[in-house]
Amino acid sequence: MTAAPTIQLLPDADGLGRAARYLGQGGLVAFPTETVYGLGADARNDTAVARIYEAKGRPSFNPLIVHLADQPAAEALCHFSPEARRLAAAFWPGALTLVLPLVAQAGISPLVTAGLDTLAVRVPDHEVARALLRSFDGPVAAPSANPSGRISPTTAQHVVDGLDGRIDAVVDGGACPVGVESTIVDCSGAAPVLLRAGGIPVEAIEACLGQTLLLPDEAAPDRPTAPGQLASHYAPMGRVRLNAEVAGPGEIMLGFGNVDCTLNLSPSGDLLEAAAQLFGHLHRLDAMKAKQIAVSPIPDHGLGRAINDRLRRAAAPRD
C-alpha cells in the first residue's frame, strides 16, 4: 500500500509521462475516462493488479476491464467475432466494453480475468485516457476508482476523497462527461449477451447488430449473472481442503508462509504476493492434475479476505 499522499497530476505531457512511468513501475494511477475515473495498473503485472484490490479493499476478486488505446491493441489480446468487430467499429472509442475469448499467452495477469478464459476490453473515448494509454503503450486494467462498495468517482477530487494515500497518483482531467459506467456486452458465446447496462444505450447496440441482446439468464439459465456469484466458479479440478496445517496422504499442498508445500502463495506470508500468485497457482494445480489439494490458512484481513472468498468458492461442494 502507498503510504505517501496521492500525487495529483495535470493532463499535460509532463503529467502523462509521469503517470505512464508509475504504471510501468507497477504503480496505481487513477485517470479520467468518459464514463467514470478508472483505477489503472499494468494488466500484465500480477503484483500491480493485486494492488488494485488492496487499494479498493475489495472483499472478492471480480474480473477487471482492460483499457486500450485502439482496436488493434485489443485484437492482440482477444478473439473478435464478426458481431464484436461490428460493435467496435460502431462504438469505439466509447462507453462499450466487450467480453471476448482471451488469446492464449496474451500475457494478461490471471488476476485481471479472475482466472476466466474471457477478457473484458474497451477503448475509452477520453482525450486524457487515450493519451495516457498511448504513452504507456500497454494494456491497463482499471475498475472504477472508488473504495469497494462506494459510489463511482466522476472527478479527481472524488478519487482523492476515497483513495488518498492508497494509490500513487491521479491525473486530473476534470469531470467525466458520461458519468455512468460502460455498457458491457459478452460476445464470447453463440449470441451476444448484455451483462451491464451503461453509457451506450442497449437500443443503439441492438440496432447496430440487427438483433436483440440476450439477458444473462436467457443465455445460460442455470448460471447466476456475475461470474463471481457462482460458488464453484474458477475452481480447480481437484478437491480443495481449506485451513490445512499439513498435507494429508495423497494431497498436494498449496502453502502460505513458512510451510512444507508443493506450491507456495507467499513463503514470507505477504498477502499482496499471495493475491498476485493465486490464480496462477490454481492453474498450475490443474496442469499438475492435482486431485486433492490442501490449502494453508490465510489471514482473513486486507487482501486475505478476497483470497479466502475465492478459496471458499474453490472448496464449495460441486458435482
Q: What's the DSSP call for residue 50?
A: H
How far is residue 27's CA from residue 170's CA, in Å, rounded to a whole number?
Answer: 11
Residues 132-191 that bind ligand TXA (CB under 6 A): 142-144, 181-182, 184
How far is residue 84's CA from residue 65's CA, in Å, rounded to a whole number?
Answer: 16
How far is residue 90's CA from residue 11's CA, in Å, rounded to a whole number?
Answer: 27
36 binds ligand TXA (CB under 6 A): yes
How far is residue 257's CA from residue 255's CA, in Å, rounded to a whole number?
Answer: 7
Contact partner at residue 182 from Mg ion, ligand TXA, none, CB < 5 to 8 Å by partner kind: ligand TXA
119 binds ligand TXA (CB under 6 A): yes
CB atoms within 10 A of CB 35: 28
Minimum CB distance to Mg ion smaller for 39 or for 315: 39
Instruction: Give the C-alpha distances (Å, rounded to integers) separating 98 from 34, 77, 217, 242.
Output: 16, 12, 18, 35
Interface characters, 214-233, with ligand TXA (x: CB under 6 A): ------------xx------
Contact partner at residue 273 from ligand TXA, Mg ion, none, CB < 5 to 8 Å by partner kind: none
Contact partner at residue 121 from Mg ion, ligand TXA, none, CB < 5 to 8 Å by partner kind: none
116 binds ligand TXA (CB under 6 A): yes
Interacting span for ligand TXA (CB under 6 A) from 28-36, 84-92, 203-211, 233-241: 28-36
Interacting span for ligand TXA (CB under 6 A) from 15-23, 79-87, 110-118, 231-239: 110-118
Contact partner at residue 109 from ligand TXA, Mg ion, none, CB < 5 to 8 Å by partner kind: none
Residues touching ligand TXA: how many (CB under 6 A)? 25
Burial 217-244 (b: 16+ CB within 10 A, else e): eebeeeeeeebbebeebbbbebbbbbeb
Min dist CB 152 to Mg ion, Å, is 5
- Nearest residue to 133 via CA among 141, 107, 159, 164: 141
Q: Which of 132, 195, 263, 275 binds ligand TXA (CB under 6 A)?
A: 195
**Closest CB to Mg ion belongs to which residue?**
144
Minimum CB distance to Mg ion smaller for 118 or for 152: 152
Min dist CB 232 to ligand TXA, Å, is 17
Residue 237, all three cell numbers: 479440478
Min dist CB 208 to Mg ion, Å, is 25
Minimum CB distance to ligand TXA smaller for 119 or for 131: 119
Min dist CB 280 to ligand TXA, Å, is 17
CB 23 within 8 A of CB 69: no
Min dist CB 113 to ligand TXA, Å, is 5
Q: Please name the amino acid found at residue 71.
A: Q
Residues 6+ apart with CB under 8 A from 165: 2, 3, 4, 5, 6
How far is residue 226's CA from residue 222's CA, in Å, rounded to a whole number?
Answer: 12
CB 225 within 8 A of CB 232: no
How far is residue 169's CA from residue 164's CA, in Å, rounded to a whole number?
Answer: 9
113 binds ligand TXA (CB under 6 A): yes
35 binds ligand TXA (CB under 6 A): yes
Q: Which residues bind ligand TXA (CB under 6 A)?
A: 33, 35-36, 38, 62-65, 97, 99, 113, 116, 118-120, 142-144, 181-182, 184, 195-196, 226-227
